[in-house]
Amino acid sequence: MIHEFNNPIPVITEIGEGYAIYARDCGTFENDVWTVVMEDGRVLHFRTDQLKVYANATFDIKKNE
């Protein structure tokens, strides 16, 4: 199943920052695959364990300054 986000989610990856635009469910025992548009325009795919949410005030997630 693919879930497309109404609002892209700002994320941090090992190679830079970007916006997650959709995620694909890979089943119970696998990481989901996220599609991220990087700041330079590249579209790349990452596993769930390779991403961090940039910031989210609702869940008190703050960007490290």
The band of 54, judged by pLDDT with boundaries at 50, 70 and 90, is confident
Amino acid occupying residue 13: T
**Domain extent listing, the chain:** 2-53
What's the rounded mean pLDDT across residues 35-42?
A: 96
Give Cβ neighbours of residue 31 (< 8 Å, ≥ 6 apart).
Answer: 47, 48, 49
pLDDT of residue 64: 65
Tokens of 62: 């703050």
* Cα(16)–Cα(25) distance, integer angstroms: 23
